[in-house]
Amino acid sequence: MITTDILIIGAGPTGLFTIFEAGLLKLKCHLIDALPQPGGQCSEIYPKKPIYDIPAYPEILAGDLTDKLIEQTKQFKPGFTLGERAETIDKQEDGSFIVTTNKGTKHHAKIVAIAGGLGSFEPRKPKIESLEKFEDNGVEYIIKEPELYRDKKVVISGGGDSALDWAIFLSDVASEVTLIHRRNEFRGALDSVEKVQELKNAGKIRMITPAEVKGIVGDDKVTGVVVEKKGEDAFTVDTDHFIPLFGLSPKLGPIANWGLEIEKNAIKVNNALDYQTNIPGIYAIGDVNTYPGKLKLILCGFHEATLMCQSAYKRIFPDKKYVMKYTTVGGVEGFDGTKKEAPKAVVKAIE
């Protein structure tokens, strides 16, 4: 049986950053993830997708962010159970938990932190006749390797952040980018909307709104899409690739049967305190949780992980005092192999 202080379910960015915050408190972490490698969606689905809202990085690829988070955690020597799904949880008499995976691996932890992102997921597909016929033959729901689109004609359909971000990114890769959305208004970040508009004005992106893709042209491979624009006859746009980006359909999987309070496929938590669920000792952080005002941003997951670790420490050591050090001044033990003490002026005692 694997024993740890905090068992983290989900090895995406939020789960990985939790290792660092727990490590500062001398708490050991072990992670479970159904994917064969850490990183979650950032590694598996869109490693080459640019992310724009990570502090100090005007732009960073999702895969690079994962690599840096993993590097940051190495000093604390976390454990990983990869390629296995957390299946059942059993609360022990002392308040700790035993979590068993679908392959029978048992984990014993004082605290469980669910950082499963969107859970298991599949892309939302538009209702287009013969769509499946062209999957992997010009129809892609996820962009893993942008170089696939080098000097090709690309049609992106969607109005959210993914559609906007990839339209911006591929405008410097593809020979032609067409963005199609059923409304004139987009749901993405205002800055991204403005960038797309600038690229449209510069002739680097063709925008068709309000419109929808209703058909695909081609024999064995996509050669075009049929577009219906409000007030106009249907017309064909030549393309090598059609990329419908309508988000993911998430499923919590076995976690939904753990007795947690669920709302719209997300786990309800107490955000006024520490992101704890209705079961004491079980927390939910990152995209998997919900509360009033919730924002599904990696940045918010980092914040939630930080406060969760502080609460976890108090649950594990209710009578113990600890000292929180400002790492910007005092450094962090392990970065250079030495132990650094923060000056008294920047040490804050916390009960």
Average pLDDT over residues 210-226: 95
Average pLDDT over residues 205-234: 95
Residues in the chain: 351
Average pLDDT over residues 126-130: 91
* pLDDT-derived band at 252, boundaries 50, 70, 90: confident
What percent of the chain is predicted at pLDDT more than 70? 88
SS3 string, the chain, reads: CEEEEEEEECCCHHHHHHHHHHHHCCCCEEEEECCCCCCCHHHHCCCCCEECCECCECCEEHHHHHHHHHHHHHHHCCEEEECCCEEEEEECCCCCEEEEECCCCEEEEEEEEECCCCEEEEECCCCCCCCHHHECCCECCCCCCHHHHCCCEEEEECCCHHHHHHHHHHCCCCCEEEEECCCCCCCCCHHHHHHHHHHHHCCCCEEECCEEEEEEEECCCEEEEEEEECCCCCEEEECCEEEECCCEEEECHHHHHCCCCEECCEEECECCCCCECCCCCEEECHHHEECCCCCCCHHHHHHHHHHHHHHHHHHHCCCCCEEEECHHHHCCCCCCCCCCCCCHHHEEEEC
The pLDDT assigned to 43 comes to 63
Average pLDDT over residues 195-207: 96
Which residue from 73, 82, 69 is spatially nearest to 42, judged by alpha carbons? Answer: 69
Structural domains present in the chain: 2-121+249-320 (3.50.50.60), 125-246 (3.50.50.60)
State the average pLDDT for the chain. 87
Average pLDDT over residues 277-302: 95
Average pLDDT over residues 323-348: 47
Q: Which two tokens stand for residue 21?
A: 């915050």
Each residue's pLDDT tens digit, 143-171: 878 899 999 999 999 998 889 989 999 99
pTM above 0.75, yes or no: no
Each residue's pLDDT tens digit, 90-126: 999 999 999 999 899 999 999 999 998 765 556 788 9
Instruction: Name the residue type at position 306.
Output: T
> Does the pLDDT value for residue 293 go beyond 50?
yes
The pLDDT assigned to 348 comes to 39
Higher-pLDDT residue of 143, 198 = 198
The pLDDT assigned to 161 comes to 84
Each residue's pLDDT tens digit, 19-66: 999 999 999 999 998 877 888 777 666 677 788 889 999 999 888 999
The pLDDT assigned to 34 comes to 82
